[in-house]
Amino acid sequence: MTRRSRSNDAPTEAQRKIVEAAVSAFAEHGFHGTATRDIARRAGVAEATIFKYFPSKRDLLLGVLGPALEQLVGSALARSMEPLFSVTYPSFEAFLRALLAERVAFVRAHPRLVRILAQELPFDAELRAGIVSRVIAPFLTKGLAQIEQFQREGQIVGWPPPLVLRCIMSTFAGYILHRVFIAPDEAWPDEAEVERVITFLVRGLSPERPA
């Protein structure tokens, strides 16, 4: 009844359940801390079924992260970030606001994937290389260019662009990790908080006071 006629296109029902189960399990116990048997149980399939679709446990990890990252970061780059950096922002503040909104949306949509990614990155050179080249490098390139643009326009202080970008990203990361992982249940009337975070950055990075 459930449609799945396409040979190479549509993922099976089981396949989807496996991925979902793997995401939960990895997020809860980490990659090494999760047994394939547990994933199978959660997914309601036999263990062997997992290996039908993912030749190894590691392929399951990649299969969980990869497509999601392509779909999310890839499309985030395509849909959100590309415009982010291609649009001429009226002001540094507007840029920050857009960047924060997009980052928040991403992490809120896939908090478990972010957690898994963060946990496995330090131990997985291949994963790291992939992420760096496919996500971080493009982001850095464009982000730094944008920073330089604002510097040329005299909107922000003339510090080295990587430092400026790091200040921005650290502040955003602190905000996002807090909201998503530490205090996810708190009410989110946080326009005020966003305003303050933006204000903090705008002030902190404002150009040297001209006499």
Partner DNA sequence: CATGAATGAGTGTTCATTCAT
Partner DNA sequence: GATGAATGAACACTCATTCAT
Residues found near DNA in the complex (CB under 7 A): 4, 7, 12-15, 34-38, 44-52, 55-58
Interaction partner, residue 36 (DNA, a second copy, none; CB < 5-8 Å by kind): DNA
Q: Tell me how far, at minimum, the Cβ of 167 lies from a second copy, in Å.
A: 5
Is residue 18 within 8 Å of 60, Cβ to Cβ?
Answer: yes
DSSP 12: P
Distance CA 73, CA 190 (A): 25
For the record, the structure tokens of 85 come out as 């950096």
Interaction partner, residue 145 (a second copy, DNA, none; CB < 5-8 Å by kind): none
Does 185 participate in binding a second copy (rule CB under 8 A)? no
For the record, the structure tokens of 156 come out as 């922000």
CA dihedral angle for residue 6, residue 76, residue 114, residue 191, rounded to 10 degrees: -130
Distance CA 209, CA 26 (A): 49
Give the residue, chosen from 30, 66, 74, 138, that forms a contact with a second copy under the rule CB under 8 A. Answer: 30
Q: Tell me how far, at minimum, the Cβ of 90 lies from a second copy, in Å.
A: 21
Interaction partner, residue 49 (a second copy, DNA, none; CB < 5-8 Å by kind): DNA
Does 85 participate in binding a second copy (rule CB under 8 A)? no
Q: List Cα–Cα distances, 32 to 78, 118, 123, 205, in angstroms.
A: 33, 14, 11, 42
Query: By the criterion CB under 8 A, which residues form the site for a second copy?
Result: 28-30, 32-33, 115, 119, 122-123, 159, 163, 166-167, 169-171, 173-175, 178, 193, 196-197, 199-201, 203-206
